[in-house]
Structure 1
Amino acid sequence: MVNIGPNIQLPDFPLLLAPMEDVSDPPFRAVCKANGADLMYTEFISSEGLIRAAAKSRKKLDVFDYERPIGIQLFGSDVETMGECAAISTEAGPDLIDINYGCPVKQVACRGAGAALLQDIPKMVAMTAAVVRHTHLPVTVKTRLGWDEGTKNVEEVAERLQDVGIAALTVHGRTRAQLYKGDADWRLIASIKNNPRIHIPIFGNGDITTPEKALEYKNRYGVDGVMVGRASIGYPWIFREIKHYVATGTLLAPPTLEERVAMCQMHFDRSVEWKGPRVGIFEMRRHYAHYFRGLEGAKAWRTRLVEAETPEAVYEIMAEIARSEAVLVGA
């Protein structure tokens, strides 16, 4: 078992769903949980937005019992504001609070938040300590190797954040300068895990795209678990596939066309339920290409789904897809 605080016990080698902006909302988390994700996080939430009571930020605090254990992820640039937002987030009833020190996008980093804190370790430590003080829940952190190739300081970061009370650390094996380009480098993640001073769980993130790679990285780098991000978009089955491969060394058959349609419809239903028909239908459109990637005639089906304006129209198109006996290339 992997322990994150007294009330969060995860299985050996847990699989985490990465927090992804405009992706990992409750509907998406529902399909990932149904396929074996062990720990999930909200989309990252702006501390300034919470303080202003911005509707979008407040909506992201929604968590549900079927998601547990679930963490609320915060980002911000002001130490005291982050502390206050940890208290606000605690009232929403998550199982833990996570701090984002890894987001590389300009809109976040150029405001002194996310990966920008990798350039100011004392401030990062002070901010983390403030969050720990303002909640009774376990606090975890997600970060990167460093700001750029010349400042890979994550080993120092791990020790100092553990010293102020974090319960677990997830490291994405790229610098901020890399964004999402090139291969993730897990060697420093392994160094943290092998550091005798480190006693908290260490999770690795970056390039976990197949069951084979998950097991390879488990064995090679010794991490306590892995976080899966982009590979789960439109393919939540990756969690069950990794679990099966780690346990048995054999690969599960890929989802059938009927399974793809059923999972996409579950996602759609949750989207409409949580967001309402208009927004739910609109925001679901970004997912169709992923669910039906490799499907014969996928472009035509996707066009029709994107143009559908009512739940009834979407259901009818999905039923047609299921009846079509279209070939899944590579399945």
Structure 2
Amino acid sequence: MALCLGSQTIHPPVLLAPLAGITDLPYRRLVARFGAGLVVSEMVASQEVVQAQPEARARAELGLGDQATSVQLAGRDPYWMAEAARLMEANGARIIDINMGCPSKRVTTGLCGSALLRDLDLALDLIEAVVKAVSLPVTLKTRLGWDDTLLNAPDLARRAEGAGVQMITIHGRTRCQFYKGAADWAAIARVKQAVSIPVIANGDITDAATAATALRLSGADGVMVGRGAQGAPWRLAQISHALYGTPAPAVPQGAAFADMVAEHYEAMLSFYGPALGLRCARKHLGWYLDTAQAGAGARHAILTAEDPATVLRLIRSVLSDAGAIAA
């Protein structure tokens, strides 16, 4: 199954979610190498990226020349959203995604992210500005609503489709749920019934079984995987194989697993620089150690080492001898 967004094709319809501080360029490239229909950048603040402030500039290392990559923008001002979209298109972006789902208080207090579910007129202004600014497909990611009394995702979806959005991803929680409780995949069906464009189900999708259930309950056209891929960059490819018959990924074992982790670590050092890269990589190393069921002593040694060469040596010695990595 393939989803066609203008000149862009998403196949298979299994997408990597944008996760702040996690789905950076090295990780997205690793997931894409195993197999993903689309990977989405970390959320980029529109005004800041246009004005080239340092943090936004670092996040703007977006892999714009990479295939199957979408750039996610956030903001509350139509002018800056349009300018950021134009900048991304000029630099080679293939798809622009608009964030109206981030629940972070830092984001919502700035009237961005899921706060826009409380002001659909402003949300529509932002969408229209981005769609008019670029010739690229524009997509939207949001939630079921602000809270249980304001479940207005179907209304937003209808208005977004009318403005030219070509695909919508729905996280099956409200903003006020944050990430608590269980994602309500059945509630996504109301959005699917409201529009004719593709709808992607997101939230608590961790493997082929949960993906299949999410699709059945929501009627969605595909799934987006976030935390389920932590420590297992092959997870999307496994889901794609089970649901859509794509080639099964070779889950690395032993020395091959150690080599993959070492390669990811070195890519992060190169991307961020040695000092920042060492710190940013620790969360990924922790997930890899969980996947390998490494002992507490090895975990402590790797995650507290301050010298990249020492970390690389420990990765190879610990993970090469790890037990079988569960497929």
Q: TM-score, normalised by structure 1?
A: 0.91
How far the C-alpha of 1:96 sits from its partner, in A, is: 0.9
Unaligned runs of 5+ in 2: none
Q: Distance in 1 between matches of 2:322 and 2:38?
A: 34
CA deviations over 1:174-233 (Å, ceiling 9, x no partner): 0000000011112232222234xx221110101101211112222333211100001111
CA deviations over 1:36-70 (Å, ceiling 9, x no partner): 12101111011231243212212222233774121
SS in 1 for 2:177: coil
Q: Distance in 1 between matches of 2:251 and 2:211?
A: 17
Match of 2:9? 9
Q: Distance in 2 between matches of 1:60 and 1:35?
A: 23
User: Which shifted more, 108-117 or 63-72?
Assistant: 63-72
How far the C-alpha of 1:115 sits from its partner, in A, is: 0.3
Match of 2:123? 124
Q: Distance in 2 between matches of 1:287 and 1:38?
A: 22
CA deviations over 1:135-180 (Å, ceiling 9, x no partner): 1111110000000000000111111000001111000000000000
Match of 2:46? 47
CA deviations over 1:210-263 (Å, ceiling 9, x no partner): 2111122223332111000011111112112212222469x9896534343222
Q: Distance in 2 between matches of 1:271 and 1:245?
A: 30
Of all paired residues, the percent bearing the same amino acid is 34
Q: Distance in 1 between matches of 2:203 and 2:189?
A: 13
Q: TM-score, normalised by structure 2?
A: 0.92
Unaligned runs of 5+ in 1: none
Q: Distance in 2 between matches of 1:65 and 1:120?
A: 31
1:243 and 2:240 aligned: yes
Q: Cα–Cα, structure 1 residues 278 and 140, in superposed 2: closer, same or farther, change >3 Å?
A: same
Q: Distance in 2 between matches of 1:85 and 1:322?
A: 42
Q: Cα–Cα, structure 1 residues 204 and 296, in superposed 2: closer, same or farther, change >3 Å?
A: closer
Q: Distance in 1 between matches of 2:96 and 2:299?
A: 37
Aligned amino acid, residue 105 of structure 1: S
Q: Cα–Cα, structure 1 residues 23 and 256, in superposed 2: closer, same or farther, change >3 Å?
A: same
User: Which shifted more, 239-248 or 104-113?
Assistant: 239-248
Find 2:202's aligned residue among 187, 192, 205. Answer: 205
Q: Distance in 2 between matches of 1:202 and 1:180?
A: 20
What RMSD in Å do the two structures reach over aligned CA positions?
Answer: 2.3
1:82-161 alignment, distance < 5 Å: 82-161=81-160
Name the count of aligned residue pairs.
327
How far the C-alpha of 1:2 sits from its partner, in A, is: 3.1
Q: Distance in 1 between matches of 2:249 and 2:79?
A: 48
Q: Distance in 2 between matches of 1:252 and 1:7?
A: 27
Aligned amino acid, residue 284 of structure 1: A
Q: Cα–Cα, structure 1 residues 193 and 128, in superposed 2: closer, same or farther, change >3 Å?
A: same
Contact 2:64 2:92 in 1 (8 A): no
1:280-299 alignment, distance < 5 Å: 280-293=277-290, 295-299=292-296
Aligned amino acid, residue 11 of structure 2: P
Match of 2:31? 32
